[in-house]
Amino acid sequence: MRHVPEADIDSVQVYDDVTAAKRQPTRGNLQSARNAVLAAYIEYAEAVPEVANLPEIDISDPQSSALLHAYNNKTVPLTKLRSNLLQRVSVARCPFCGIGESSTLDHYLPKELKPQFAILAENLIPCCGPCNTRKWKHVVDKETDARLFIHPYYDEIPPIQFLKVNVRLDTLRGTLGLRYKVFRPDGISVHVYRHMQSHFKLLGLDDRYRLRSLEHLRGQHRALARLYGPLNDEVRVSNKLNEDADDYEDEYGLNYWRTVLYRALANNNDFCDGGFQLLTHIQ
């Protein structure tokens, strides 16, 4: 969960290019819906990040279908839009989870609910398949009306640690328990805390971070063993883990799962004092 820059794309130009594209069977409906859709684009820009409750617009069912078709139809301008959004280093890793490769585009406001934003660049978020699938058509909490997910282009992520992992090392059983959770530190409002928490829960990040962490750590045990050495130098192990945590924090922020993981392990005496060796047994 992190902020990423929006792409420098002229969405009005995209709309006109998609409308004029070859093999665009719904051109008439796109032309007749143009004024209403472009007015909705302006409302979106003025409302960000609180875009969940933008008003319905007055377009017909065939016009709605034309907008959906415009996104799904692989015209040259649409292919260019997808490429311009996805081929950026800043979004190569999924901004929703920070784990997977951004290989798909998510409609922040689902296109089935808000077809007017089906080809709006500002509503299209590069992300990984699992996040896209889990996010599905969820937008707001039905009880509180609060948005459930972070809008990576427009939501500010608080520069305070709100993600932590509890480490439970059982050397007898040879297990390493990791439990990620979002907590509420001083300086974060209840509203922001709930926003981060719903994003975390609905995307299944507790389990996904846990599995990804164990898989990652399994590849680290040789490097840790070299640092520990014949002198059982736990301080050297801890220092190295802290250095790596600093590097992850500088590059990806306080709430990146690896920053949080490395910091927690650096502070776990049992792990640093040879406990890391059980990583070789994790299945």
Instruction: Enumerate binding residues for Zn ion (CB under 5 A).
Output: 94, 96-97, 100, 128, 131
Return the number of the residue (46 or 251) whose C-beta is nearest Zn ion. Answer: 251
**3-state SS class at 147:** strand
Least separation in angstroms between CB 94 and Zn ion: 3
Return the number of the residue (130 or 158) whose C-beta is nearest Zn ion. Answer: 130
Least separation in angstroms between CB 129 and Zn ion: 8
Return the number of the residue (77 or 152) whose C-beta is nearest Zn ion. Answer: 152
Least separation in angstroms between CB 178 and Zn ion: 18
Return the number of the residue (135 or 240) whose C-beta is nearest Zn ion. Answer: 135
> Crossing angle, helix 11-20 and helix 76-86, to 10 degrees?
150
**3-state SS class at 65:** helix
- The two tokens of residue 14 are 């995209």
Least separation in angstroms between CB 205 and Zn ion: 9
- Upper half-sphere CA count for residue 278 (Cβ side, 13 Å): 16
Return the number of the residue (14 or 131) whose C-beta is nearest Zn ion. Answer: 131
The Cα–Cα gap between 108 and 122 comes to: 9
Q: Is the dihedral of CA 48, 50, 51, 54 positive or negative?
A: negative
Least separation in angstroms between CB 156 and Zn ion: 20
Q: How far is CA 7 from the centre of its chain?
A: 16
Instruction: List the beta bridge partners of residue 181.
Output: 164
Phi, psi of 164 (to 5 degrees): -140, 165
